[in-house]
Amino acid sequence: MSLRKLGTKLLRVAAWAICRPLPVQKNKVVVSNFYGRGYADNPKAIVDELLARGAQLRIIWLLAGSVENDLPAGVEACPRGGFWEVYHLTTARVWIDNCRKGAWYKKKGQLYVQTWHGFALKQIERDVLHRLHPKDEAYGIRDSSQIDLLLSNSSAMTKIFQRCFWYQGEIGEFGSPRNDALLHPAPSAMEKVYKALGIPADRRIVLYAPTFREDDSLQAYGVELQPLRQALAQRFGGEWVVVQRLHPKVAAKAVQLQWDGETVLDATHYSDLQELLTAADAVVTDYSSLMFDFGLTGKPCFLYWPDLESYRMERNFYLELEELPFPQAQDNPSLRKNVADFDSDAYRRRLAAFYLAQGFLEDGQASRRTADWISEKMK
């Protein structure tokens, strides 16, 4: 361990020791999204609901140092990783997070709401124990022991959580708060995306949003974008632009891809994926859980996975791929054929059957249910 890392660790140890005796503040809520990213995902939807209720809360949002502060009025930014993060965690009444938090301890009277971050196609946590470092296992066990409410969007995910999360506590089958915005889309969200990316109002959007690979390579991101645009225009009409969004884990590599600023645009650093999904007329992805979110809109989602066999060996899946309702392709000609042959009615029937089989609970009220639970417990 370098001297710098050792110094940082010692300072963090000191911060937890100093803050441990401090009292819990009954109106403070501390929120984190993907280890310090911007205002988005399930935590954003819950906070928006709390703000809309006019609750007298002090809401702290943890941000990594390089993340742009796009927080709304009523939400304070706090740098992640320093003394003030520890101070707010040890004095907050409620923690809200969508990833493992890493808190060293939780005091009596504190509440931890874990929203997780999507319906799992890829195996997670205890189900991939053979791939986890022993420290990761201990980390997961400690974090799970602190949770008071774990959100689930389906009976299928509830079973996965019960089996692989080292957690036997309350599971709220409330739905995914972030998907309320897809089921009840606000026109302002679409307008915000078009304005932020400089897209003319008469264009249609296809969002290409692949997930990351374990080696962080971009080799599998091989969609031929201009022919894809043409195929979409022939099948659905209108003029299309491609909006590409890399997974945050490989966001720094976005400069290695090609963008022309008119027909192919970069939205890698656009913080709120749900707003992009709201604005999109179609999506192309691979193994990302965003497919299950976007499917709720009924709009076409196409899967492109040229590295399917190697990825399957690397991560493995909870579902047989034939169960997925989305057209699948392992090369560009097949992807374009899936676009050309797209049958809207058959697609919607497959979606309805899939969501029914998995016991999906999404109805646009998840944020309300979660805020109700938090408000009641805070009393």
Give Cβ neighbours of residue 251 (< 8 Å, ≥ 6 apart): 268, 269
Tell me the pLDDT tens digit for each residue of 136-190. 888 889 999 999 999 999 999 999 999 999 999 999 999 999 999 999 998 899 9
Q: How many structural domains comprise the chain?
A: 2
CATH number at residue 42: 3.40.50.11820
39, 272 in Cβ contact below 8 A?
Answer: yes
- Is the domain of 40 the same as that of 154? yes
Contact 189, 275 (CB under 8 A): yes
Q: How many whole angstroms separate alpha carbon 71 and alpha carbon 234?
A: 40
| CATH number of the domain enclosing 299 | 3.40.50.12580
Amino acid at site 354: F
Residue 313, pLDDT score = 84
**CB atoms inside a 10 Å sphere around CB 351:** 19
Are both 300 and 353 inside the same structural domain? yes
Dist. CA 48–CA 41, nearest whole Å: 11
Residue-level pLDDT at 247: 85
First to last CA, the chain: 45
Instruction: Give the span between the Cα atoms of 140 and 160, in whole angstroms.
Output: 15
The 10 Å Cβ neighbour count of residue 70 is 14
Say yes or no: 202 and 175 in one domain: no
* Same domain? 143 vs 242: no
CA torsion through residues 164, 173, 154, 208, sign: negative
Residues 85-99 as b/e (b if ≥16 CB within 10 A, e otherwise) read: bbbbbbbbbbbbbbb
Block residue for tokens 């031929």? 224
Question: What residue numbers bound the domain in which 8 lies?
Answer: 3-180+364-378
Q: How far is CA 271 from the centre of its chain?
A: 10
Same domain, 228 and 127: no
Angle at 297 between CA 296 and CA 298, to 5 degrees: 90
> How much is the pLDDT for 1?
61
Say whether both 71 and 16 belong to one domain. yes
Residue 257 and residue 138 share a domain: no
Regions of the chain where pLDDT drops below 50: none
Q: Report the candidate in 123, 120, 101, 122 with the shortest Cα–Cα distance to residue 111.
A: 101
**pTM here?**
0.94
Question: Helix or strand or coil: residue 265?
Answer: strand
Question: pLDDT by residue (tens digit) across 254-297?
Answer: 777 777 878 999 999 898 999 999 999 999 999 999 999 999 99
154 and 207 share one domain: no
